[in-house]
Amino acid sequence: MRAMARVPPFDRPATYEDLETVPDIMVAEIVGDELHASPRPAPRHATGASSLGMLIGSPYHHGRGGPGGWWILDEPELHLGRDVLVPDLAGWRRTRMPVLPETAYFPLAPDWICEVLSPSTASLVRVKKLDIYAREGVLHAWLIDPDARTLEILRLESGRWTILATHAGADIVRAEPFADVELELAALWA
């Protein structure tokens, strides 16, 4: 199991300058004023995220076989208040973000995020990052667990996350906000 490092304690809130000191071989985030660093994704984790990006990217990002109208991006750096988060995937409706920002980060919260859970990141995602996404008005969150081979679909309702469905194994899924196309979950585990 790969461990996620909580880089502090600092005697002050973590800053972007602290984040920049983390080696490039790590994913660094500032979550609730704390600097967190984790190794690059393991192969099973990377496969799940990459496969999902390909499955929804074609119909939603490119409009091939689907409605288009989205930006679907891998590991975007989100600047949400004092927090700097890096979800595995994120999507913005082009009606909310017609053009990509010129910055190396995204100041606008996405409409959808996907986090691929590992034993070292699951607690941080579930306890802290989901609260930040809710605070910023992200409407949809998907949580993939490649070890359990599950996909949880969450929707933000009145500031709180509601689990709409949990799918597993080789299920074929239609899930909001991407319910126009079927997703074969088996592709995420291959």
**Cα–Cα nearest to 48, from 88, 15, 3:** 88
Residue 145 included in any domain: yes
The residue whose two tokens read 């053009």 is 99
Residue 149 included in any domain: yes
CATH number of the domain where residue 174 is located:
3.90.1570.10
Q: Give Cβ neighbours of residue 127 (< 8 Å, ≥ 6 apart).
A: none
**Structural domain range at position 143:** 40-189
C-alpha distances in Å from residue 163, one per residue of 5, 70, 126, 156:
28, 23, 12, 9
Domain count of the fold of the chain: 1
Strands 112-116 and 140-145: parallel
Output the pLDDT for position 171. Answer: 96
pTM over 0.85: yes
Residue 26 included in any domain: no
Residue 24 included in any domain: no
Low-confidence ranges of the chain (pLDDT < 70): 1-10
Residue 26, token pair as written in the block: 């790590």
Residue 173 included in any domain: yes
User: Per residue in 125-172, pLDDT tens?
Assistant: 999 999 999 999 999 999 999 999 999 999 999 999 999 999 999 999
Residue 71 included in any domain: yes
Residue 62 included in any domain: yes
CB atoms within 10 A of CB 9: 9
Residue 89 included in any domain: yes
CB atoms within 10 A of CB 30: 23
DSSP string for 54-86: HHHIIIIIS-SSS---EEEEESPPEEETTEEE-
